[in-house]
Chains A and B, each alone.
Chain A
Amino acid sequence: MQASRARLFKEYKEVQREKSADPDIQLVCDDSNIFKWTALIKGPSETPFEGGVFQLAFSVPEQYPLQPPQVRFLTKIFHPNVHFKTGEICLDILKNAWSPAWTLQSVCRAIIALMAHPEPDSPLNCDSGNLLRSGDVRGYQSMARMYTRLAAMPKKG
């Protein structure tokens, strides 16, 4: 409990100090609860998510960093490894491959990398996975781009 709080506080200071270090990631701690974080990540370029801003919700367990944080997309995203309704993310480092040396910031980076490199063989979004597994990259990209435009881009006029 105390260790996780200290660790999160240090991460908070780190984030404040290096706000511009990673322009694709904006980590914000909840005002009243250091165990609740939200992050805004930019969709990586040359992917169907380019131009979108995706919101992530972090829920940090008290055993953190020995236990990984629970992360889910708050923004709708069409991705084989993200549950379309709940936003749950299937990512090994958030499950069994977690290392206490990781930080919330590095989790965000890993999620950006996952967006650029989907793993269709362990899908949470079966429709998306099936499109990729059947080789319909264009179909996957247009679906993903559409949802990016619908959910992750600021509404224009």
Chain B
Amino acid sequence: MVSDSVPAALIPSAANTKNLGKKKRTNRSAKLKQNKIEARREQWLSQGSVKSKGCKDVIDSDGHELPLSSGNHGKRPLEQLETRHRVEEDDGLIHQHSDSESPANSPTGNDSGTNFTGSSGSSSGSSSSRSSSSYSSAGCCSGNITEEDDDEEEEGGGEEEGDDGCLDDWEAVADALAANDKRQNPCSDSPPSHGDESVVQMASSNCEDPNRGPNSGSRNLKPESANLVPWTGNCRAWRADDAFRPQSLPNLSKQHSLPISDRRCGGGVLWSRSAMPSSCPICCEDLDLTDTSFLPCLCGFRLCLFCHKRILEEDARCPGCRKPYECEAVVETEPSVLGGSLTLRLAR
């Protein structure tokens, strides 16, 4: 159920992300994080006792301060209403929570803007108080605060359909679960994702990458760069991610959306792009991702895996330098793109 609904909910957001560009992507990811945090807080509060009473209070206070918020932010009245609806739907958990947990969010800030300030502030409070909300939620707080206005806009747009909020909640719950799983065993998803297909490798490279943390910058980023460039154009990568959605996508869109996009401009990317032939010099077929990250010989002569295999079956010498391929090690490591090219460099 969760695994079914989650990709369906994520696909539109992925399409949005591509179309709207980097800034919007960060907003979207911030929104997703927000949802996650809210879902977690709701879970937490549902275990608690009091609900309906605080809800009533908040609605009242909201109703009082709506004009004030419109004066502050210049939002459309419709949005204000929607936001208030949203607060009602949420049973006022936010304000109840923020009041009790983080005193900084005073009740006077209960307009549409502070709905999110309150949530983000309280989320930071919850993340500090509860160890279960990871560094990701802590890290997203700054993003939430700085891009608060955009969040409001998107949030307001999203709340226009009642179903959307429901889907968001599902997604948030699933994301929270996935994030928890991931934190407990961060590398659990990487071994099964070493496949032969380029699609699989794409996903694996993406989901492995954030786990490596700062070390990932020093690694060979070729496959990732080859990945990332076509993303803006087609939806291939997202389709690939759908299969691995519960683990890989939260990392991608939420925790590391900015660092990854920054890494696109890294030196490794430039190097690989300049040195990479677009088609196999032997058979003239286009090199796919697996091929481009495949470096069978020290001389740097690249060819597709198909031709490499055929050559191994015949005289097993590199077409570029005519030296015999050291085939065994190379063939063993070639399915795992990242590790393979890395170990090649280190081994020789």
Contact = CB atoms under 8 A, between A and B. Distances in A.
Interface of A: 3, 6-7, 9-10, 65-66, 97, 99-101
A66 B314 contact: yes
Contacts of A9: 284
Contacts of A6: 283-285
Nearest to A67: B314
B310 A66 contact: yes
B317 A99 contact: yes
A9 B306 CA distance: 19
Interface in B301-348: 301, 303, 306-307, 310-311, 314, 317, 319-320, 322
Given A7-B283, A10-B284, A99 B322 contact: yes
A128 to B, nearest CB: 28
B109 interface: no
Given A6-B285, A7-B282, A10-B284, A97 B311 contact: no
Nearest to A99: B319
Given A66-B311, A66-B314, A100 B282 contact: yes
Given A66-B310, A66-B311, A66-B314, A101 B283 contact: no
B281 interface: yes
Nearest to B310: A66
B322 A65 contact: no
Given A3-B283, A3-B285, A7-B284, 11 more contacts: A3-B306, A3-B307, A7-B283, A10-B279, A10-B284, A66-B314, A97-B322, A99-B317, A99-B320, A100-B281, A100-B319
Contacts of A101: 281-282, 301, 319-320
A67 to B, nearest CB: 8
A3 B279 CA distance: 12
A29 B284 CA distance: 18
Interface of B: 279, 281-285, 301, 303, 306-307, 310-311, 314, 317, 319-320, 322
Contacts of A97: 322
* 6 nearest A-B residue pairs (beta carbon): A101-B319, A3-B283, A10-B284, A100-B319, A99-B319, A100-B282
A9 B320 CA distance: 21
A100 B307 contact: yes
Contacts of B322: 97, 99
Contacts of A3: 282-285, 306-307
Contacts of B279: 10
A106 to B, nearest CB: 12
Contacts of A65: 282-283
A100 to B, nearest CB: 4
Nearest to B301: A101
Nearest to B283: A3
Contacts of B283: 3, 6-7, 65
Nearest to A4: B283
A108 to B, nearest CB: 18
Nearest to B320: A101
B199 to A, nearest CB: 23
B283 to A, nearest CB: 4
A101 to B, nearest CB: 4
Contacts of B306: 3
B297 to A, nearest CB: 11
Contacts of B310: 66
B131 to A, nearest CB: 57
B277 to A, nearest CB: 11
27 contacts: A3-B282, A3-B284, A3-B285, A3-B306, A6-B283, A6-B285, A7-B282, A7-B283, A7-B284, A9-B284, A10-B284, A65-B283, A66-B282, A66-B314, A97-B322, A99-B317, A99-B319, A99-B322, A100-B282, A100-B303, A100-B307, A100-B311, A100-B319, A101-B281, A101-B301, A101-B319, A101-B320
Contacts of B317: 99
A12 B50 CA distance: 79
A99 B325 CA distance: 13
B66 to A, nearest CB: 68
A9 B285 CA distance: 12
B127 to A, nearest CB: 56
> Which of B284, B301, B307, B322 has its CB near the most chain A CB atoms (within 10 A)?
B284
